[in-house]
Amino acid sequence: MHNRKFVTLIIICVIAFSAVVFLFSPFFYMGEIIISGDNIITQNEIMERLEVSPTTSLLFFNTRAARSRVTKNLYVADVNFRRSLPGRLYVQIRERRLAAYVEHTPGSFLYIDEQGRVLEVRSFTSGTRPIVVGLNFTRFALGEVLEVPNADAFAIATEYAQHIYHHGLISSVTYIDVSDTANTRILVGYIEFNVGGKNDAESRVRVIAGILTEMPDVEFARGFVDLRETRGEYFFEILT
């Protein structure tokens, strides 16, 4: 009887040991990583932050630690992982969208997303995004929403930045001036639109898009359009 129990115990130990050896075997090594959703952050940087080696097991890959490392890049809002046995890992990146620039000091620009979160600071602007002026602030923190004393000015800036993007004007608008929250100015080339305050922001941006579509030689036009009151037609005042 004792011999039978001993033999049974040996068999169980051998099976358990074999199972452990199999789980750590090259069969489960991470042979393929498929990354999607990356537009700003590069795949090389993602791979570096994943810290995957040729012998990393898909089964024991620590996704929680990897997510923490990847999201240290402020342009990454979140990252999700999906395992496909035996050795394929899917990495889905959700990035924050660069919405505008805010001039901090002369020659220093904050890159912000649609919520006003500061993504990085540079001495130059690197793409076609509006520059927000008129936000008077004294401090900021990377990765945090910008703290602005005038909450209305900040709300107007972020609201219009979102609608400008969704209406395809992100590469056309050069400035959003919220110095006077009752007379917010949106500059497209040499054309200035006075959109008033925050009310009906989406409809006013839609009007701007329509005007620019119908206007010939927009890049050469110089003028002013008052959009503070919603009406059926708007007048373009030529500036000389």
| Contact indicator for 100, 109 with CB cutoff of 8 Å | no
Residues 152 and 223 in one domain: yes
Does residue 18 lie within any of the structural domains?
A: no
Residues 119 and 220 in one domain: yes
| Contact indicator for 78, 71 with CB cutoff of 8 Å | yes
Residues 88 and 187 in one domain: no
- Out of 95, 117, 133, pick the residue that ends a domain: 95
| Amino acid residing at 39 | N
Q: What whole-number distance in Å separates Cα of residue 67 and Cα of residue 69?
A: 5
Residues 124 and 184 in one domain: yes
Q: What is the CATH number of the domain that holds 57?
A: 3.10.20.310
Residue holding tokens 């990765």? 143
Q: What is the CATH number of the domain that holds 168?
A: 3.40.50
Residues 158 and 76 in one domain: no
Cα maximum dimension of the chain: 108
Q: Map residue 165 onto helix, strand or coil.
A: helix
Please count the structural domains in the chain: 2
Whether a cis peptide bond, with omega within 30° of 0, leads into 216 is: no
Q: Is the pLDDT of residue 170 over 60?
A: yes
Q: What whole-number distance in Å separates Cα of residue 88 and Cα of residue 32?
A: 5
Q: Is the pLDDT of residue 238 over 70?
A: no
Q: What whole-number distance in Å separates Cα of residue 194 and Cα of residue 212?
A: 15
| Contact indicator for 52, 62 with CB cutoff of 8 Å | no
Residues 82 and 151 in one domain: no
Residues 111 and 230 in one domain: yes
Residues 132 and 71 in one domain: no
Q: What is the value of pTM for the model shown?
A: 0.82
Q: Which long-range contacts (CB under 8 A, 24 or more apart) does 234-238 make?
A: 234/207, 236/191, 236/211
- The tens digit of pLDDT for each residue in 91-131 reads 999 999 999 999 888 889 999 998 999 999 999 998 789 99
- Out of 45, 62, 95, pick the residue that ends a domain: 95
Residue holding tokens 């969208």? 97
User: In sequence order, what are the residues at sequence separation of 6 or more whose Cβ sits closer than 8 angstroms to the Cβ of residue 183?
Assistant: 194, 196, 228
- Out of 95, 117, 140, pick the residue that ends a domain: 95
Mean pLDDT value of segment 62-82:
96
Q: What whole-number distance in Å separates Cα of residue 225 and Cα of residue 220?
A: 15
Does residue 85 lie within any of the structural domains?
A: yes
Residues 148 and 213 in one domain: yes
Does residue 7 lie within any of the structural domains?
A: no
- The tens digit of pLDDT for each residue in 5-55 reads 555 555 555 554 444 554 555 777 888 999 999 999 999 999 999 999 988
Domain that holds residue 135: 98-238
User: In sequence order, what are the residues at sequence separation of 6 or more whose Cβ sits closer than 8 angstroms to the Cβ of residue 204?
Assistant: 193, 195, 196, 227, 230
